[in-house]
Structure 1
Amino acid sequence: MFAGSKIRLTAIRKEDLPKFRQWNSVESFGRFYNSSPIREESEKNANQLIDDHSDRSYRFAIRPLESEDFLGVCAIEEIVWSHRAAWISIALGPDFHGKGFGKDAMQLLVRYGFNELNLHRLSLTVFSYNQAAISLYESLGFKHEGTYREFIQRDGKRYDMHLYGLLASEYFPNRLR
């Protein structure tokens, strides 16, 4: 369930956190990961990745099949169980983009969300300048559902943030409801 063709998903470990904190200060990570100003993540905030044991969040480290190297994080979070809806996210370290790790991780995460957690809907947001991520999400079946116009400002320019969603009926088109 947690191994793909290139990566596997594991628990996030304490020893992963210094690398995660450092990545947050790197432009090629922070500009794709969130809308916050780029800065090194505090130890307290980074610890929340492993300290949140609620039934509303499932967070994973992304690791290659053959080693314990830490490649990034992915998650299904903010689950609203009464509606079977959640948000999905991924963040790869700056050196691991474009190698197929993200696609493999997202495929595992989507499968986990629909098969194991029995969710009905997965949502995500992506900045309009992140064309590689948009292509990935669309290749996995996510549908563009809306746009937050001029949501973010980077380097003196405004960019949109897009909302994407994937329903269980789209993931399993032949399954009886």
Structure 2
Amino acid sequence: MQLHRTLFLAVSLAGTAVGQAGAPAQQDTLQALLTEVRQLRQTLVVIQRLAVQQQHVEALSRQLDQVREQIARSAQESNALAAALAANEARLAKEQQSGAVRHDIEDEIKKVKVVMEEKAVRDQQQQARDSQLAGQLQAEQAKLNELNDRLDGLERAMQPAAGK
């Protein structure tokens, strides 16, 4: 909306300047105004794209942080499962009888091993997701940097015009 107002104002001023006199100085002024409007439009477009890209980068960053937190929690769970397995195996080694107690310990060991195997698959999936998100984040950050560079270039291009 602001862009439309700016363009309307610039065109109105330019039309007024042309209508009043056809002098070359006024043509130069008109051309300078049109150039300035184009630069402003380009800058606004880049700023809008920059804002959208920044939001995208932030969303990917949050997703990556969440996956990495899950991986850290998963590592703690793996340590707890490994400790439980070791404790059950130690209990089994000490158990002399072949009765129900030994059978219960063996069942518990089997259950823990199944959980550990399932968890290993989920851990691999989380690691793959981490790698995927890290790659996406890097690519999107590069796009953001490119937009920042374009904005800097537009700013530098407008500085000499502002100094005239």
How does the TM-score come out when normalised to structure 1?
Answer: 0.19
Is the helix fraction higher in 1 or 2? 2
How does the TM-score come out when normalised to structure 2?
Answer: 0.20
Higher relative contact order (CA closer than 8 Å, sequence separation 6+): 2
Larger gyration radius, structure 1 or structure 2: 2
